[in-house]
Amino acid sequence: MKMSYHEAMRQAMREALMADPRVFLMGEDVGKYGGTYAVSKGFIEEFGPERIRDTPLSELGFVGAGIGAALGGMRPIVEIMTINFSLLALDQIVNTAATLRHMSGGQFNVPIVIRMATGAGRQVAAQHSHSLEGWYAHIPGIKVLAPATVADAYGMLAPALADPDPVILFEHAQLYNMEADIDPQACDIRSAAVRRQGADVTLITYGGSLPKTLQAAEQLAAQGIDAEVVDLRVLRPLDTQTLLASVRKTHRAVVVDEGWKTGSLSAEIMASIMEQAFYDLDAPLARVCSAEVPIPYARHMEEAALPQARTIAAAAKQLMGKA
């Protein structure tokens, strides 16, 4: 079945709402407007305002309300327009949702799914172009997912709703129009996925950088370099075993992360590889991250600030001694 990333997410939510009366959607403009990216278009007519709830412009307030609903036995899907707005709800996410199971000695669970658009590349300037997934991946008590394919956009929601703990779904805004033929079914939300087999170098990435990384792998193949591409998919907890297995096969690795380099998720991945597979490496690790600047508005400057297929390929070629 061919569908877009946007439609896959929409279909997954619709099926969840139909299957379980405890599931409801809440957020800014999710009802009459149909969601910022039209993912919930038509839902309010189908399910009514009790289950498709437009909220005030207060992320701190409506994320807190979602946590309360989850504690009360509901299965809320809370939509935050873009990742930068989630900063207004950090107290609820980090100090409440992530900690209640631990602080209650296991008496309470918070089965909430928080969806948000992330990433740059759309000319929406610095305030709406963040890639802060690494911040959330730092926090114990939550599961962090980054669907990078149409199949994962569909398949991650059902297991996320079934998880007894908070789950954050990061949907890269540049992926919404991507299309693919898929067999709609629930997927694994514990493991990374090898998207391309290779023998010479491992390219590790997630989210909106996956298509660029696969393009880089094709560019490298044309130059005789066989790159393996690993899609993290799950940013917390990291599936280090899949990463290590790939690195032990190729003996080289490039980490591609749209986040900034300083204090980034890429640094954690590189540290894990160095700690557990140092003697398997034939070259130093490398990474391709966004430039350490607020993301520019001008298209040519924005493109220059972000990882691109050509810069990913160049980093891999340098590791292979073919730069």
Q: Give tens-digit pLDDT for 66-123.
A: 999 999 999 999 999 999 999 999 999 999 999 999 999 999 999 999 999 999 988 9
Q: Which residues constitute the domain of residue 129? A: 2-181
Let me know if residue 286 belongs to a domain.
yes
- For the segment 121-177, what is each residue's pLDDT rounded down to a tens digit? 889 899 999 999 999 999 999 999 999 999 999 999 999 999 999 999 999 999 999
Residues 128 and 23 in one domain: yes
Q: For the chain, what percent of residues have pLDDT higher than 90? A: 94
Residue 187 lies in a domain: no
Mean pLDDT of 204-226: 97
State whether 100 and 59 are in the same domain.
Answer: yes
**Residue 186 located in a structural domain:** no
Mean pLDDT, the chain, integer? 96
Query: Mean of the pLDDT values across residues 300-323?
Result: 94
Mean pLDDT, residues 277-303 taken together? 96
> pTM of this prediction?
0.96
Are residues 91 and 177 part of one domain?
yes
Give me the CATH number covering residue 255: 3.40.50.920
The pLDDT value recorded for residue 321 is: 87
Last residue of a domain, one of 181, 210, 229: 181
**188 in a structural domain:** no
For residue 195, give every residue at least 6 positions away whose Cβ sits within 8 Å of its Cβ, in sequence order, or none.
149, 210, 214, 229, 230, 231
Check whether residue 120 and residue 6 sit in a common domain: yes
Query: Is 251 known to be catalytic?
Result: no
- Judge if 236 and 158 occupy the same domain: no
| 11 and 159 belong to one structural domain | yes
249 within some domain: yes
For residue 85, the model assigns a pLDDT of 96
Q: What is the pLDDT of residue 70?
A: 98
278 phi, psi to nearest 5 deg: -55, -45
**Of 181, 204, 232, which one is at a domain's C-terminal end?**
181
Is residue 288, in this structure, part of any structural domain at all? yes
CATH number of the domain that residue 103 is part of: 3.40.50.970
Q: What is the arithmetic mean of pLDDT over 178-188?
A: 92
pLDDT at 1: 84
Catalytic residue among 28, 59, 79, 268: 59
Co-location of 17 and 118 in the same domain = yes
What pLDDT band is residue 295 in, cutting at 50, 70 and 90? very high
Quick one: what percent of the chain has pLDDT higher than 70? 100
Query: Which is catalytic among the residues 6, 28, 128, 172?
Result: 128
Mean pLDDT confidence for 309-322: 94
| Same domain for 83 and 116 | yes
Cα torsion for 113, 66, 265, 287, to the nearest 10°?
60
Q: Number of folded domains in the chain?
A: 2
Active site residue 303: no
Does the structure show a pLDDT above 80 at 323?
no
Tokens of 180: 């693919």
Do both 144 and 220 map to the same domain? no
For the stretch 28-64, pLDDT in tens is 999 999 988 889 999 999 999 999 999 999 999 999 9
Residues 206, 158 share a domain = no
Domain membership of residue 162 (yes or no) is yes
Residue 36: what pLDDT?
85
First-last CA distance in the chain:
41
Residues 307 and 250 placed together within one structural domain of the fold: yes
Whether 308 is covered by a domain: the verdict is yes
pLDDT reported for residue 322: 81
pLDDT class of 226 with cuts at 50, 70, 90? very high
